[in-house]
Structure 1
């Protein structure tokens, strides 16, 4: 990766989870951008983001709906879904994600897949040049 620190957006309606993910991402050298709802992220915009981590079960627009909108606007953006429920049981709805984590999840495992997604993205960018 270049000297620019990757930006990881986190969307979750649980402020405690947002705070712990911000700390985890910062400790790994990422720049976290946190949003308490899908609408808040969409108003802010998707440009400048390198990875999206979103909760599935949120009021208003859920994580699946957000994933669908993001994939239309930025199909190359890695999207990871997290949940404390069993929404992911619907495997058809899980298509088009880079990974899935059920709460409570292993922070190091999340960092590993985020890093892998960023490396894959960088290799694709290099290949496209």
Structure 2
């Protein structure tokens, strides 16, 4: 079960976010400002943090900056009333992973949290092995049949995602949200283009294949 930390000085919002996230089976810790959040992070493992910007004692910008400088790489979702491009640019520049503007849709918040956690799982798992094929997260390389192929980032993450969950069907929208992000301007045809390229590159690979599930999406099949 993933453990989330919510940092918000508005008590009503704090408990509202806690309630909806616990309904989706997350463990939730609460902090009213950045200093309280640091104290919790010092004692507990946190998988993802949701933070406001404007808070007393230490705001969300300071908190995020301190965490990134200290080497924390947990996903951070910033929820704030600030809607200007410069505010978003500042947030992403200091290491925020995603951004929502109040008033937020709580169901969308849950979707964004789940997508961030899935992307973090992909990043933290460094290698994947099936048969004689190995994928290396650190280099975006695929080692197979005595050859090494370096893939563009999105192609690699798409292949890695499919192979990490063999026989699981992913819709195009799921893959877009997890790899391109919920705010991407690309459409679902982007997935088809990348799948076509992957099939061309690995059509002779005996360890796996990528299958189209008509009307749904794609899945990877590991060949015995």
TM normalised by structure 2 equals: 0.52
CA RMSD of aligned residues (A): 1.8
Residue in structure 1 matched with residue 112 of structure 2 by the alignment: 113
Q: Bigger radius of gyration, 1 or 2?
A: 2
> Do residues 122 (structure 1) and 118 (structure 2) align?
no
Shift in alpha-carbon separation, 1:24–1:74, aligned structure 2, 3 A? farther
Shift in alpha-carbon separation, 1:73–1:60, aligned structure 2, 3 A? same
Structure 2: 5+ residue runs without aligned partners? 129-224
How many residue pairs get aligned? The number is 125
Question: Is the 1:78–1:97 Cα contact (8 Å) retained in structure 2?
Answer: yes
Instruction: Report the alpha carbon displacement of residue 88 of structure 1 after superposing the two structures with TM.
Output: 5.9
Question: Is the 1:57–1:85 Cα contact (8 Å) retained in structure 2?
Answer: no
Residue in structure 1 matched with residue 38 of structure 2 by the alignment: 42
What aligned pairs does 1:1-129 form with structure 2 within 5 A after superposition? 5-46=1-42, 47-86=44-83, 89-95=86-92, 96-128=95-127
Worse-superposed segment, 98-107 or 72-81: 72-81
Shift in alpha-carbon separation, 1:54–1:88, aligned structure 2, 3 A? farther
Question: Is the 1:80–1:97 Cα contact (8 Å) retained in structure 2?
Answer: yes
TM normalised by structure 1 equals: 0.86
Instruction: Report the alpha carbon displacement of residue 71 of structure 1 after superposing the two structures with TM.
Output: 1.3
RCO greater where, 1 or 2, for CA within 8 Å and sep 6 or more? 1
